[in-house]
Structure 1
Amino acid sequence: MSDLLSHADVTARTDARHWRVLLHTIHASFRTETFSRGFLLAQRITIAAEAVQHHPDLHLTYGRLRVALTSHDVHGVSERDVALAAVISHIADELGIESEVPVLGITEIAVDALDIPAVLPFWRAVFAYRDDPGSTPALEDPAGIGPSIWFQQMDAPRPQRNRIHLDVTVPHDVAEQRVADAIDAGGHVVSDQRAPSFWVLADAEGNEVCVSTWQARD
Structure 2
Amino acid sequence: MNDRISPARFHAAQGVSDWGVLFDAATARFATGSFERGAAFVAEIARLADAAGHHPDVDLRYATVTVRLFSHDITDISERDLALAQAVSQAAADLGIAADVVGLHAVQIAIDAADIPTVLPFWQAVTGYRRHGDDDLLDPFGRGPNIWFQQMDPPRTGRNRIHIDLSVPRSEAPARIAAALAAGGSIVNDDNAPAWWTLADPEGNEVDVAAWRDDSDW
TM-score, length of structure 2 as denominator length: 0.95
Of 186, 190, 194, the residue aligned with 1:196 is: 194
Match of 2:181 in 1: 183
Alpha-carbon separation, structure 2, partners of 1:78 and 1:157: 36
- 1:120-139 alignment runs, 5 A limit: 120-133=120-133, 136-139=134-137
The letter of the residue matching 2:118 is A
The alpha-carbon deviation at position 154 of structure 1 amounts to 1.6
Match of 1:168 in 2: 166
SS in 2 for 1:65: strand
Give the conservation status (yes or no) of the 8 Å contact 1:110–1:152: yes
- 1:95-134 alignment runs, 5 A limit: 95-133=95-133
Query: Deviations along 1:116-135, whole A, 9 cap, x unmatched?
Result: 111111000010011113xx
SS in 2 for 1:46: helix
Query: Deviations along 1:23-70, whole A, 9 cap, x unmatched?
Result: 221110001111111111101110111112111110011101000112
What's the C-alpha RMSD, in Å, of the aligned pairs? 1.3
Alpha-carbon separation, structure 2, partners of 1:117 and 1:170: 29
- 1:81-96 alignment runs, 5 A limit: 81-96=81-96
Alpha-carbon separation, structure 1, partners of 2:103 and 2:15: 17
Give the conservation status (yes or no) of the 8 Å contact 1:2–1:79: no
Match of 2:22 in 1: 22
The alpha-carbon deviation at position 15 of structure 1 amounts to 2.8
What percentage of residue pairs aligned between the two structures are identical?
Answer: 48
Match of 1:217 in 2: 217
Match of 1:70 in 2: 70
Alpha-carbon separation, structure 1, partners of 2:196 and 2:83: 29
Question: What runs of 5+ residues in structure 2 fail to find an aligned partner?
Answer: none
SS in 1 for 2:208: strand
Alpha-carbon separation, structure 2, partners of 1:76 and 1:117: 23
Match of 2:61 in 1: 61
Alpha-carbon separation, structure 2, partners of 1:156 and 1:85: 42
Query: Deviations along 1:138-187, whole A, 9 cap, x unmatched?
Result: 11111111111111112233231111000001111111111111111111
The alpha-carbon deviation at position 94 of structure 1 amounts to 1.0
Match of 1:152 in 2: 150
Alpha-carbon separation, structure 1, partners of 2:17 and 2:7: 17
Give the conservation status (yes or no) of the 8 Å contact 2:5–2:79: yes
SS in 2 for 1:91: helix
The alpha-carbon deviation at position 93 of structure 1 amounts to 0.6
Of 204, 207, 213, the residue aligned with 2:205 is: 207
SS in 2 for 1:119: helix
SS in 2 for 1:103: coil
Give the conservation status (yes or no) of the 8 Å contact 1:102–1:171: no
The alpha-carbon deviation at position 16 of structure 1 amounts to 4.5
SS in 2 for 1:86: helix
- Per mean C-alpha deviation after superposition, the further-off stretch among 170-179 and 154-163 is 154-163
Question: What runs of 5+ residues in structure 1 fail to find an aligned partner?
Answer: none
TM-score, length of structure 1 as denominator length: 0.95
